[in-house]
Structure 1
Amino acid sequence: MANKQEQIFSSKTLTYFLQLTETMNYTQAAKILGISQPALTQQMKKLQAAVGAPLFDTFGKKLKITDAGYEMLRATQDINERLTQAADNIQSKSSADKGTIRIGVLASIDTKVITEFASEAFKETPGIKIVLVQLSRKEMREQLTENDIDLVLTYLPDSFFKNWETFSHKTLYTDELLYISRDSDEGQGKDKIWLGDIDRRAWASYPEDSYLGETLSSAFNTAMVNEPEVVTEMEAPEQLAEFSRNTRVHTALPETYVSGHTVGEGVNAVPFQPSIGFEVGLVYRSEKIRTPRISRFLGRFDDYLAEQSYLSRLENK
């Protein structure tokens, strides 16, 4: 069986076959290939014997390809395309200046810094295509596990990721949630506000299954305080800020968001007591660091942040 496969799929035999299908003339094909016509004829006879059917028929002086020949041609072209694609994939994975880097970001995280860095990276290495997509926590976990994405910009730590030991991470900055109240004495003149003292009548919060939603619920449970009545759930801080601005409903926003945006007049923004803090960072499969383009991207990102920190870039609106 192995000998038959070697006869059919040897690079030389398939090259001869493809050339003959292009010229449909033994003499011309042999000349292009740099071999004698009898040698080409002999190779085609061996190939036809191996597949068990004639690949060409002769009608007068004209050479015609048979149905079996067309099937062989499609298979040979498919093999060549697959080999070419495989070579391209290998080259892109082993090259530091070619290929694609896919980055997933949670909707609640500001993409300003990573977008600005992507612009700088493109100027330096235009052969690298950076794909930036918003993903849910579930999509993030699934795509990281299936190796469908290279890096994710997410909150840390996050127990939602299973088999955490298979991942590596790079912390970019620390953040905390601030209590946002409007036209109220709550939080006014205070350094912090206890969870039990906040207005419980109406509350704009994050989805229950989101990282920030779970973090808030955990904080209330730990403090043994009932959560306020949630009147809306929104994923992104800018959505909650706009809703709060229009309705005067209280909410919680990341300190980095408040520092870099105008959240409206008459706003009190104070930390919770106890504080509700978290980190933001990049997470990736540990073996990704061996991929040249990923390693170079992360190294260049380190240099970029050494020039100016992530937090200062984020707050510099």
Structure 2
Amino acid sequence: MKKHMKSNNDNALLVRSISYFVALAHNLSYTETAVQLGISQPALTQQIKRLEEIVGTPLFSLEGKKIHLTDSGEIFLRAAQKVNGVFAEANDEIKLIREHSHDVINIGVISAMPANVLVDFIVKFRKNHPSVDFNIKSILRHSLRFQLESDSTDILVLYLPDNSFAGLSKYRTNRISKSEMLLVSPFKINNGNKVTLDEIHDYNWVGYPKGYYMDQIITEQCHDSNIFVPRYSARFSQVENILTYGKKTKSIAAIPDTCLPFVKDGSYIYEFNPVIKFDVAIVYRTSKLKVPIINKCLNEFDLYLHQKDYLTRLKELVREDT
């Protein structure tokens, strides 16, 4: 009996170690991964070392202060992702055959995206489905794919394009709204309604934290145009703080047009030339459609946006809250 219990414990530890390995392989940072998983860094290091002992070869290499996957690590990552996919799909199948008296839908929203529309939809959805609870959490870009593969998130609300899900048939994408980047300035920059990055990159900037989708879009656009990345005097995760700081310090900010309802009177709004376009979308594993309550939620959300589009709803909801 003791031998059997030890075997079960070893199997559980192995599954946990594989999950930790996948998260670390995505982040390539022990510190970020430990925070994401809610464990200490020494505990994470111990789990990875234990996994490497089982596999019999190093899975990560250290170059300076940065870690990288070894060739063996790359091979193991592909296998681990398949294993996680099998577990996640099995979990979905179990949800189908299990008697539910209480359902929970886990939704991840990429950091800095306004959640007003989502909150409004959930309020309306629960009036018809009071037994369904929602768990809404803010997700950083580097952990998007891990959230779906580990089955800790059923549906992601995010900005696209994002290479995290490129070419993967097991994920389905539904566009919520077309969107573009806009420049908000407390002062007049020119007599038109458009600006170029070359024209404004020497100005004082305020923006989103490094690693956020909006920050990376501006960085990529600067690199593509052979322009130095702007210097930010401050970075905030909430658009309200970005706009307040910009107004008080005469700093400009690039924000998505989905955040335009938060801009106060007296600010100057400019489009970028060329236009910086992207989509607001939801992403989920195709197997989630087999779960009745999630399928119903997705269908009713489509109907909700068909009755009134995303940007119109957002403007109305922000106006109601102010």
Name the counterpart of 1:261: 262
- Provide structure 1 residue ranges, at least 5 long, that are not aligned to the other structure: 1-88
> 1:95, 1:118 → 2: CA distance?
23
**Change over 3 Å in CA distance of 1:162–1:277 after alignment to 2:** closer
Name the counterpart of 1:152: 156
Q: Runs in 1 of length 4+ with deviation above 4 angstroms?
A: 89-98
Aligned residue runs from structure 1 range 208-219, under 5 A = 208-219=210-221
**Change over 3 Å in CA distance of 1:128–1:306 after alignment to 2:** same
The residue identity in structure 1 corresponding to 2:245 is F
- Provide structure 2 residue ranges, at least 5 long, that are not aligned to the other structure: 1-92
> 2:99, 2:217 → 1: CA distance?
40
- 2:155 equivalent to 1:126: no
The residue identity in structure 2 corresponding to 1:272 is F
The residue identity in structure 1 corresponding to 2:161 is P
Cα drift, residue 102 of structure 1: 0.5
The residue identity in structure 2 corresponding to 1:175 is S
Cα drift, residue 264 of structure 1: 4.6
> 1:103, 1:97 → 2: CA distance?
20
- Tell whether the 8 Å contact from 2:208 to 2:237 is kept in structure 1 after alignment: yes
Name the counterpart of 1:297: 297
CA RMSD of aligned residues (A): 2.2
- Tell whether the 8 Å contact from 1:196 to 1:225 is kept in structure 2 after alignment: yes
Aligned residue runs from structure 1 range 136-147, under 5 A = 136-147=140-151
Structure 1 residues 174-209: Cα deviation after superposition (integer angstroms, max 9, x where no partner): 11111122223x14x312111111151421122231
Name the counterpart of 2:247: 245
Correspondence for 1:110 among 89, 114, 120: 114
- 2:170 equivalent to 1:171: no
> 2:102, 2:221 → 1: CA distance?
45
- Tell whether the 8 Å contact from 1:245 to 1:264 is kept in structure 2 after alignment: no
- Tell whether the 8 Å contact from 2:203 to 2:252 is kept in structure 1 after alignment: no
**Change over 3 Å in CA distance of 1:182–1:113 after alignment to 2:** same
> 1:281, 1:92 → 2: CA distance?
26
Q: Aligned to 2:122, what secondary structure does the other structure show?
A: helix
- Tell whether the 8 Å contact from 1:97 to 1:293 is kept in structure 2 after alignment: no
**Change over 3 Å in CA distance of 1:95–1:117 after alignment to 2:** farther
The residue identity in structure 1 corresponding to 2:148 is L
Q: Aligned to 1:165, what secondary structure does the other structure show?
A: coil
The residue identity in structure 2 corresponding to 1:156 is L
Cα drift, residue 252 of structure 1: 0.9
Name the counterpart of 2:198: 196
Cα drift, residue 117 of structure 1: 0.5
> 2:97, 2:254 → 1: CA distance?
42
Q: Aligned to 1:190, what secondary structure does the other structure show?
A: coil
- 2:280 equivalent to 1:276: no
**Change over 3 Å in CA distance of 1:92–1:125 after alignment to 2:** farther
The count of residues paired between Structure 1 and Structure 2 equals: 225
**Change over 3 Å in CA distance of 1:96–1:284 after alignment to 2:** farther
- Tell whether the 8 Å contact from 1:95 to 1:292 is kept in structure 2 after alignment: no
**Change over 3 Å in CA distance of 1:195–1:201 after alignment to 2:** closer
Name the counterpart of 1:10: none
Cα drift, residue 300 of structure 1: 0.9
The residue identity in structure 2 corresponding to 1:220 is C
The residue identity in structure 2 corresponding to 1:262 is V
- Tell whether the 8 Å contact from 2:179 to 2:279 is kept in structure 1 after alignment: yes
Cα drift, residue 140 of structure 1: 2.8
> 1:97, 1:195 → 2: CA distance?
54
> 2:273, 2:100 → 1: CA distance?
47
**Change over 3 Å in CA distance of 1:91–1:153 after alignment to 2:** closer
Cα drift, residue 228 of structure 1: 2.1
**Change over 3 Å in CA distance of 1:207–1:219 after alignment to 2:** same
Structure 1 residues 212-248: Cα deviation after superposition (integer angstroms, max 9, x where no partner): 1111111111122222222122223222112112211
**Change over 3 Å in CA distance of 1:175–1:97 after alignment to 2:** farther
- Tell whether the 8 Å contact from 1:93 to 1:293 is kept in structure 2 after alignment: no
Correspondence for 1:235 among 221, 232, 237: 237
Identity of aligned residues (%): 24
Q: What is the TM-score normalised by the length of structure 2?
A: 0.65
**Change over 3 Å in CA distance of 1:95–1:288 after alignment to 2:** farther
Report the structure number with the largest CA radius of gyration. 1
> 1:93, 1:274 → 2: CA distance?
51
